[in-house]
Amino acid sequence: MMMPPLTDEQADGSNYERSTGGSVLTESSQKSVFDIIKNMEATLRKQGIPTARLDAEVIIGYYLNRDRVALYRDGDYVPTFEELNSINQGLARRITGAPVAYIIGRKEFWSLEFEVNQSVLIPRPETELLVETVVKLVQRNRMSGMKILEIGTGSGAISVALASELKSGRFFAMDISRAALTVARKNARQHGVSSRIFFFCGNLCEPLKDAFDFVISNPPYISEHDYEHLSTDVREFEPKAALIAGPKGTEFHRDIINGAVPCIRKGGGLVMEIGYGQREAVERMLRQSEKYDYIGTRCDYAGIDRIIMARRKE
């Protein structure tokens, strides 16, 4: 869903209270950063946004090129008209439901900052457990020079995070979206790991013929029914293809379990993220394939089964 064009009133900020029914972010008011944070928070709360304060701080900080500490240190600063205009436009986008990460064009993951746009899913904190799991498996087995394939890399956050931790590894990141791969390549260059990550456009393991130590994925795992009940900022802005798996929500897990077998060396591992209530179904798929053993799961910090892993039989 594209953001509707700004009206002249929204663009120049002069009648912002009237155009949004909320904030008074005008040049003539000469408001300080403290005032603008307070007004934006109030406007976002009226829209039912629970993270109103944080969103206001992040959006205002972005357009003023200040982190949250500097934002409050310089709380008496009065933004220029140009800065105020940009802040107003950021607020207008948030009111339409646009996620903050898309407004500012970046998202932190694994203590690294990633570029994001509407071509890629916004990295979630719970997905860091997938990175942590792979790192621990590599360390536990004292592996070096490992080859890891990620299916559905999106922004590249998982592969880049792993490459930053596993210095001797080589990574192969796959996605069917060329637009997503463009973003992923930028993120790999930004974090200095592009020489060890090879990006490919394809489906599952195609066109690769290698055997990998690990195949990993955070695949789409939302069912068609559950998708209709997602929040507006997810449903209307994030790429649908990166979210919906099909009627059950586990269709991509089945495809990966069966399709990745030729890509995993014997004794190698398959590690995937799963959604709420999907553990039993995905475990059953792994057992029924008769290609895997040592099946296990890990819970996230909310106690939800989040990661499933298995070894390809020797």
Render pLDDT for 132-191 as a digit per residue (tens, 0 to 9).
999 999 999 999 999 999 999 999 999 999 999 999 999 999 999 999 999 999 999 999
Render pLDDT for 275-300 as a digit per residue (tens, 0 to 9).
999 999 999 999 999 999 999 999 99
Q: What is the mean pLDDT of residues 236-255?
A: 97
User: Would the pLDDT of 242 be above 90?
Assistant: yes
Q: What is the mean pLDDT of residues 22-42?
A: 77
Report the sign of the C-alpha dihedral through residues 172, 173, 176, 177, in that order: negative
**pLDDT for the residue numbered 6:** 36
CA–CA–CA angle 10, 16, 17 (5° rounding): 150
Joined tokens for residue 20 = 């949004």
**pLDDT for the residue numbered 14:** 36
Q: Residue 122, by phi and psi: left (phi above 0), alpha (psi -120 to 50) or beta?
A: beta
User: Would the pLDDT of 26 be above 90?
Assistant: no
Domains of the chain: 8-104 (1.10.8.10), 110-312 (3.40.50.150)
**pLDDT for the residue numbered 41:** 97
Q: Count other C-beta atoms under 10 Å from residue 182's C-beta.
A: 14
Joined tokens for residue 90 = 């950021």
- 115 backbone dihedrals φ, ψ, rounded to 5°: -75, 135
Q: Is the whole model's pTM more than 0.85, yes or no?
A: yes
Burial of 314 (0-12, 13-18, 19+ CB in 10 A): exposed
pLDDT confidence bin for 29, thresholds 50/70/90: low
Nearby residues of 19 by Cβ (< 8 Å), 6 or more positions away: 7, 9, 10
Share of the chain above pLDDT 70, in %: 91
